[in-house]
Structure 1
Amino acid sequence: MLKLIINADDFGYSRAVNYGIIDAHTKGVLTSTTCLTNMPGLEHAFELGKQHKSLGIGIHLTLTCGRPLLDHHQTLVDADGNFKKLHHYQGKAYINPDELYREWKAQIEAFLASGLRPTHLDSHHHINNRESILPVFIRLAEEYQLPVRNNFDQEATGSKLVTTDQFEYNPEIMLADTPTILEQYSGAETVEIMCHPAYLDKFIMENSSYATPRLEELAAMTHPETIEKLRNKEHFELITYQDLGRGE
């Protein structure tokens, strides 16, 4: 049986995103999400998270969206004090690792202050797997003893963090038939499928380059055929990062 963590990024982005993630969980196959702690929908996400205890909630560390939680950064922000956009990091951009550590630690602490217990760590736009950034990400995961998304080579870094056997970037795999899904991950016991289900509001339409596809993802995840297929306990078990390692 294949164990699937179906994780929605961007919890806390906006109220519409939050409601889409909750519907994907309560009306569909979503099991997990990760939360941006610097965005306008954060407090709303905390409220919803406390109401839906079966939803695993981790922390979506960000360096490329919104404003930082701490002031006086020099290498993380633009002239207006906002985080730099993702394209800034396509080249050899310099980041002060101490600044990054303090900012990301503040983002983790902001989540902990809600009273919720994080299930795992990942990052917005996969910025954690950049060469200059990865050591800080690993340091924090080890410090807080949190599982992580499997989007980097742990063997190369010498780290031994809890993670899934495989990570899937493309949520469309959920629309495939059962034999295709099982073949895709043959040899794996645990897989995380990343997704971005959401409703849309003015804030996300004006601030995200990935907007309308979120509606399609939400529709796919709450479709009766998807639910029937992925909730078939003969082939799949839907879990969260909290379940990794249990029963072994």
Structure 2
Amino acid sequence: MGFPVNVLANADDFGYSASVNKAVLFCFENGYINSATLLTNTPGFDEAVQMVRDNQCVKNIGIHVNLAEGRPLTNLGDAFLNADGCFNLQKTGKASSFFTKAEKQALATEISAQINKGLSQGIAINHIDSHYHLHTLPGLFNLFLHTAGQFNLKMRLAQTYREGSYLKFWYRRYINSRVTARKLNYTDRFESVGHFLLQGRFNVGVESTEVMLHPDFDTAGNLTDHFEAETMVNWLNYLKQLPNN
């Protein structure tokens, strides 16, 4: 099974758990995806790395930088953590958050540590994105852009279509222009599967598009998207419609 060469179907959350890893590998083997981003501070990390090493079909691997859940890899300090020492999304994920110089340095160190952990495994890493899209937030965007440049890694764009708010749309256009100006963009567009299908992007075009999935197996053993089950159903139906599938 295949899809247009200018489409990158990325599996987020690779390394999250055993069931997610199994589903991501299954999707690679069956041609449902051609890219994935790896969590480095979650229980399934080591297994995911081994899957990359053992399976040539698992390719286009990036780092899914996680400042939203689980424990940090560095001594980040209490400002971003809950009482259990895990990331507090209410502190890291506020769109309006701006951080002190010391806090920015601590966050930059953590972002770099997560990337370095992936690189240290001897697997090719070529792009980054983030859990819950935190890299697009005003308080974090510059840290991610600078770090992507330091490591010479491509970076996921913010959504390239308008979703309800013109203010968000123009903000996203602005930060995307900064990514593309530095030639760090992973693709030319980033869309949800639903929007991609709504636009009828069924043919090879000039621009490249990244779509995002979250493969997993449900309790009945069925392939699903653990963020929105309908996404996987719609994606597989789309693939079945393509020539030679």
Residue from 83, 88, 94 that aligns with 1:84:
88
CA RMSD across the alignment: 2.9
Residue from 111, 128, 139 that aligns with 2:135:
128
In the superposition, the TM-score normalised over structure 1's length comes to 0.76
Q: Which amino acid aligns with 1:149?
A: R
Deviation string for 1:82-114 (max 9, x for gaps)?
101257633644541101011111101110111
Whether contact under 8 Å (1:34, 1:58) holds in the other structure is yes
Query: 1:226-245 counterparts in 2 under 5 A?
Result: 226-230=238-242
2:14 equivalent to 1:15? no
- CA 1:117 to 1:106, structure 2 compared with 1: closer, same or farther past 3 Å? same
Structure 2: gaps (5+ residues): 159-171, 220-224
Structure 1: gaps (5+ residues): 202-209, 234-248
- Distance in 1 (CA, whole Å) between partners of 2:47 and 2:142 is 31
Q: Per-residue deviation at 1:76? A: 2.2
Q: Which amino acid aligns with 1:46?
A: V
2:170 equivalent to 1:191? no
Alignment size in residue pairs: 217
Q: Per-residue deviation at 1:46? A: 0.5
2:77 equivalent to 1:73? yes
- Distance in 1 (CA, whole Å) between partners of 2:227 and 2:98 is 33
- Distance in 2 (CA, whole Å) between partners of 1:74 and 1:98 is 14
Whether contact under 8 Å (1:60, 1:123) holds in the other structure is yes
In the superposition, the TM-score normalised over structure 2's length comes to 0.77
Higher relative contact order (CA 8 A, sep 6+): 1
- Distance in 2 (CA, whole Å) between partners of 1:61 and 1:212 is 17
2:117 equivalent to 1:110? yes
Query: 1:127-166 counterparts in 2 under 5 A?
Result: 127-151=134-158, 152=172, 153-156=175-178, 159-166=182-189
Q: Per-residue deviation at 1:25? A: 1.3
**Identity between Structure 1 and Structure 2 (%):** 29
Query: Residue 63 of structure 1 aligns with which residue?
Result: 67
- Distance in 1 (CA, whole Å) between partners of 2:96 and 2:194 is 32
Query: 1:192-231 counterparts in 2 under 5 A?
Result: 192-200=210-218, 211=226, 213-214=228-229, 216-218=230-232, 220-221=234-235, 223=236, 226-230=238-242
Deviation string for 1:57-89 (max 9, x for gaps)?
100001101110112523221232110125763
